[in-house]
Chains A and B, each alone.
Chain A
Amino acid sequence: MSEQVIDARGLSCPQPVVLVRKAISDGRTEFSIIVSSDVARENVLRTLKNSGMKGIVSSNGDDIIIKASR
């Protein structure tokens, strides 16, 4: 299965979290999410942690990429 990438750039709170939760409830165990603010990064990482998942953060210019895995 090709890796899923969620583009949450420019979306207001709490949408990035809603999208992450949807991916998790769809049974995804590996995906990436791109956000554009530190707030969104913090919220996504906390959501992953609360769901028992890990998140690895990297950046690409202004974009913040979080690779989620179980």
Chain B
Amino acid sequence: MKNILSSRIGMIVAGSAIGIIAVLLQAAGNPPNMGICVACFERDIAGALGLHRADVVQYLRPEIPAIVLGSFIISTVMKEYKPRAGSSTLIRFFLGMFAMVGALVFLGCPWRALLRLAGGDLNSLLGLLGLVCGIGIGVVFLNRGYSLGRSHDNRKASGWLFPAFMLGLVLLNVSGVSFSEGGPIFFSAKGPGSMHANVIISLAAGLAFGAIAQRSRFCTMGSIRDIILARDFHLMTGVASLLTTAFIGNLILGTFNPGFTGQPVAHSNHLWNFLGMTLAGLAFALAGGCPGRQLILSGEGDADAGVFVMGMITGAAFAHNLSLAGKPDTMAGDVFTLGGPGIYGQAAVITGIIFCLIIGFTMREKLTVK
């Protein structure tokens, strides 16, 4: 059956749908300028499980499992479910960890970077600039023969593992189980982790994201990469559509507030917004997909993408336990304190960039075409 969502028009429809659903999620209770953020939400999941104890960001966000399950269901129905694994698994795990570190220094994944921009948060421009730089470096490596090697087909059941794990997370959210006094499972009482839509709405939105993004091959990193690599604007049509509809949605709902300061769950530390997303962009490019795309692939049976996601969740745990994440700007009375990463976060970003550069240089196949 022809895939209408992978056409040019389909891409516009898909991006627009994602943008609209994201803004609706914000209206339904998700944090401002954070209708969907794959990095933040995976970090919240890590917190809910007790992998970190930052009590303002602990909630088992149903959107993330729902995206995986949406992708799993639609790819099975459309016969694109294809279990595969075995492409430099450990490297992908660490790429996921460092990608998360970079994203948490900026306080958003590329989806959120777009939603922040659509909400008027101009700090996001620095993040998007960093993303472009990181991806640009990745393209240089790709053109020089960078490859993590082939994956190999696997048994049907091997691809059920990740969707099953994700379903388990949903059940942990709704069951009300508590593994010890006070948790886990933790539910933030204040802060961004306490801001969330009703579970049913989150699940429905995530399932829709999963199905739409799987059929359209939506990928924010890919949209930038393909322009640099091949002057191909196909994926960017989807990204531009997301940005446009989210912007219009914010205008309609009155949630568009342009500026650099006072932005929700954000900081205006320009250098580290830029460098954090440079790291994230480079890591996504080396791993072959933005974090949303990795969730989609993991639903299709790609275990290497599943490993990247596990790396991101682990990276989030490290980020909050080792004080690597960026802190938002704060305003106490008349006193403004610039947010951003502390010294450990800065060191982690530099380490991550060095790690990615080493991977980019060393994981090469000669690009001779026989």
A interface residues (Cβ-Cβ under 8 A, vs B): 4-6, 9-15, 17-19, 21-23, 26, 28, 31, 36-39, 42, 46-47, 50, 62
Q: Are A38 and B80 within 8 A (Cβ)?
A: yes
Q: How far is the CA of A14 from the CA of B84 in the complex (A)?
A: 17
A5-B370 Cα distance, complex, nearest whole Å: 7
For window 99-124 of chain B, which residues contact chain A by CB distance below 8 Å? none
- Encoded as 1 (CB less than 8 Å from any A CB) or 0, chain B from 61 to 96 comes to 000000000000000000010101001000000000
B142 contacts A10, C-beta separation under 8 Å:
no
Residues in chain A near residue B142, CB distance under 8 A: 14-15, 18
Q: State whether B232 touches A50 (Cβ < 8 A).
A: yes
Instruction: Determine the chain A residues whose CB is within 8 A of the CB of B231 once the complex forms.
Output: 50
Asked if residues A17 and B234 are in contact (CB atoms below 8 Å), the reply is: no
**B180 CB within 8 Å of chain A:** no
Report whether B82 and A37 are in contact in the complex, using a CB–CB cutoff of 8 Å.
yes
Query: How far does the Cβ of B110 sit from chain A's closest Cβ, in whole Å?
Result: 16
B positions within 8 Å CB-CB of A: 3, 6, 80, 82, 84, 87, 142-143, 147-148, 150-153, 217, 219, 222, 225-226, 229-232, 234, 288-289, 304, 367, 369-370
Which residues from chain A contact B304 at a C-beta distance below 8 Å? 12
Q: Do A14 and B369 touch (CB < 8 A)?
A: no
Could you tell me the distance between the alpha carbons of A31 and B304 in the complex, rounded to whole angstroms? 30
Evaluate contact between A18 and B367: CB separation under 8 angstroms: yes
Pick the 4 closest A-B CB pairs, nearest first.
A10-B150, A12-B288, A10-B151, A23-B369
Q: Verify B367–A22 contact, CB threshold 8 A.
A: yes
**A14, B3: Cβ atoms closer than 8 Å:** no
Using A47-B230, A50-B230 as known contacts, say yes or no to A22 and B369 having CB atoms under 8 A apart: yes
Known: A19-B367, A47-B232, A50-B232. A10 touches B6 (CB 8 A): no
Neighbour of A14 across the interface among B6, B82, B87, B288, CB < 8 A: B288
